[in-house]
Amino acid sequence: MTGEQVAARSLEAGDVIRIQHRHNSQCGQCLSQWEADAVVTEEPAPTGGGLAIKWAGDTRLPGSTPAVTGISVVGPDDQALRIGQLPAEGTHHQG
């Protein structure tokens, strides 16, 4: 997967990122490790020394409306893999 590593504070709404979860002892409710592509749905918001990043999965279809499917809280300097950006409204491919 190609993309660029960026600081979480530089993410913007519309960025397509790779979300990863690796199970550890602090997350007792999760059952497995996973990763998926997701779209940042809002500008990251400061929260308790970190950033809350709202994201939605699989919203790359033209005309789809993203719904928040997760929120990740990360440090502002934590690295994120940005793999693209959704096209601006009205510029999607019609075929």
Give residue-wise pLDDT tens across range 54-86. 998 865 555 666 566 888 889 999 999 999 998
Does the pLDDT value for residue 90 go beyond 60? no
Within a domain: 95: no
State residue 66's pLDDT score.
Answer: 59
Q: What is the pTM of this model?
A: 0.71
Q: Give the domain extent around 19.
A: 4-85
Helix boundaries (H) for 4-64 = none
Within a domain: 23: yes
Does the pLDDT value for residue 31 go beyond 60? yes
Number of domains in the chain: 1
76 close to 11: Cβ distance less than 8 angstroms: no
Within a domain: 94: no
State residue 49's pLDDT score.
Answer: 87
Within a domain: 92: no
Grade residue 30 by pLDDT with cuts at 50, 70 and 90.
Answer: low
With CA atoms as reference, report the closest residue to 80 among 14, 15, 13, 26.
Answer: 15
CATH label of the domain that carries residue 67: 2.30.30
State what percent of residues in the chain have pLDDT above 70.
Answer: 66
* Cβ atoms within 10 Å of 40's Cβ, excluding its own: 24
